[in-house]
Amino acid sequence: MKKKIRVLIVDDSAVVRQSLAEIVNSSPDLEVIDTASDPYVAATKIRKEVPDVITLDIEMPRMDGLTFLKKIMSQHPIPVVIISSLTAKGTETAIRALEYGAVEIITKPQMYSKDFIHESKVRICEAIKGAANARVKRKIKATPEIQVQPKYTADAVLPPAIKHSMIKTTDIVVSAGASTGGTEALTVFLKALPPDSPGIVIVQHMPELFTKSFAERLNELCKITVKEAVNGDTVIRGRALIAPGNYHTLLKRSGAKYYVEVKAGPFVNRHRPSVDVLFRSTARYAGANSIGIIMTGMGDDGAKGLLEMKVAGAKTIAQDEKSCIVFGMPKEAIKLNAADKVLPLDKIASYMISVAH
């Protein structure tokens, strides 16, 4: 039998602890070994048994989750998934949590509907599995291969093109996708770009609210403009558009102009937004005028889409294993021979600029 991923849940609400425990234990690959009402209780329990993954709320009494996270990562690094019902103001704190070492941030499930609860289960369980496979500052015990559940493909949002017919233009567009560890990878990549770099569309697996704060923070750090994508936004030089959480984002074309379509739809590869959806739309509407980049992340979202881009004539890049937090998505793309180049993170920006000219 495969060893289960052991999870410690830290939240000041007894109701939330119970609900999260039921969600986690519903996955055959996961088990809750304990729960804690605050970081002090959690620290005591960690001394007795070290979990594979910690789920952590940010807003708690006695010690806030952000302070506890900093202590964990400096003293005994353990993969942490932030699960919080933060307001728009609080999302800035969540982005800071990623900088301090949290592997993922997801929103706390709320009892709106059966579909909403099901999607929350998928997000939470997949985030924990991804965290268990993530590289943290100190080497952690390897976890077993995770059994992947059945999932939708990009066909659920956009059918594959029968043929690719693309007028060559001088404008190059870039589509990039990332998941676990992607916030750090995208920060390194985008900060290295000059102000006149090609227009970029990005899918980073993040929930609603958090993508806007992430984009705003990147906009402060980068030479290019970075913003959360809005339906109809044009893709222009010197600007990166980040797909909003919980919405698929597709590249479209009208004449010589590229723009994005932001739309609802089913989970694809257990994600919304999905990298495969973005890459397929880029293959269809940009073809040889595009560059595809797949970065760190668990699973295989984007692998098939990157291959479709390559077949359509696009230049394609995958992040190498050594620089990935989780070598999942790039690995699957490389196995499909979808990547023209496999590069370390710090070389991707310069190579992209070189092939764009």
Q: Are 271 and 342 in the same domain?
A: yes
Q: Are 172 and 119 in the same domain?
A: no
Q: Are 119 and 165 in the same domain?
A: no
pLDDT over 90 at 31, yes or no: yes
Token digits for 220?
A: 């402060």
Residue 223's closest CA among 244, 204, 202, 200?
Answer: 200
Asked which of 132, 149, 168 is the last residue of a domain, the reply is 132
Helix/strand/coil (H/E/C) assignment for every residue in the chain: CCCCEEEEEECCCHHHHHHHHHHHHCCCCEEEEEEECCHHHHHHHHHHCCCCEEEECCCCCCCCHHHHHHHHHHHCCCCEEEEECCCCCCHHHHHHHHHHCCCEEEECCCCCCHHHHHHHHHHHHHHHHHHHCCCCCCCCCCCCCCCCCCCCCHHHCCCCCCCCCCCCCCCCEEEEEECCCHHHHHHHHHHCCCCCCCEEEEEECCCCCHHHHHHHHHHHHCCCEEEECCCCCECCCCEEEECCCCCEEEEEEECCEEEEEEECCCCECCECCCHHHHHHHHHHHCHHHEEEEECCECCCCCHHHHHHHHHCCCEEEEECCCCCCCECHHHHHHHCCCCCEEECHHHHHHHHHHHHC
- The pLDDT value recorded for residue 167 is 52
pLDDT over 70 at 166, yes or no: no
- The pLDDT value recorded for residue 1 is 61
Instruction: Please confirm, yes or no, whether 76 is among the known catalytic residues.
Output: no
195 part of a folded domain: yes
pLDDT in tens, 116-157: 566 778 889 988 998 998 887 543 333 343 344 445 566 666
pLDDT over 60 at 177, yes or no: yes
Instruction: Please confirm, yes or no, whether 118 is among the known catalytic residues.
Output: no
Mean of the per-residue pLDDT values of the chain = 87
139 part of a folded domain: no
Q: Are 315 and 190 in the same domain?
A: yes
Q: Are 66 and 187 in the same domain?
A: no
Instruction: Please confirm, yes or no, whether 84 is among the known catalytic residues.
Output: no
Residue ranges making up the domain that contains 198: 159-356
Q: Are 78 and 28 in the same domain?
A: yes
pLDDT (average), residues 73-90: 77
Q: Are 313 and 216 in the same domain?
A: yes
Report the CATH number that the domain containing residue 295 is assigned in CATH: 3.40.50.180
Q: Are 248 and 179 in the same domain?
A: yes
pLDDT in tens, 304-341: 999 999 999 999 999 999 999 999 999 999 999 999 99
pLDDT in tens, 188-242: 999 999 999 999 999 999 887 789 989 999 999 999 999 999 999 999 999 999 9
49 part of a folded domain: yes
Q: Which residue in 34, 300, 301, 320 is the catalytic one?
A: 301
Share of the chain above pLDDT 90, in %: 63
245 part of a folded domain: yes
142 part of a folded domain: no
Q: Are 197 and 100 in the same domain?
A: no
- The pLDDT value recorded for residue 209 is 78
Q: Are 120 and 166 in the same domain?
A: no
Query: Can you name the residues that pair with 257 across neighbouring β-strands?
Result: 254
Share of the chain above pLDDT 70, in %: 86
Q: Are 170 and 30 in the same domain?
A: no
Q: Are 20 and 65 in the same domain?
A: yes
Q: Which residue has the higher pLDDT, 270 or 350?
A: 350
- The pLDDT value recorded for residue 90 is 55
pLDDT band at 281 (very low <50, low <70, confident <90, very high): very high
- The pLDDT value recorded for residue 170 is 57
Q: Which residue in 84, 179, 274, 323 is the catalytic one?
A: 179
pLDDT over 80 at 85, yes or no: no
148 part of a folded domain: no
Q: How many folded domains does the chain comprise?
A: 2
Q: Which residue in 29, 34, 57, 205 is the catalytic one?
A: 205
pLDDT over 50 at 355, yes or no: yes
Report the CATH number that the domain containing residue 84 is assigned in CATH: 3.40.50.2300
149 part of a folded domain: no
Asked which of 114, 132, 150 is the last residue of a domain, the reply is 132
153 part of a folded domain: no
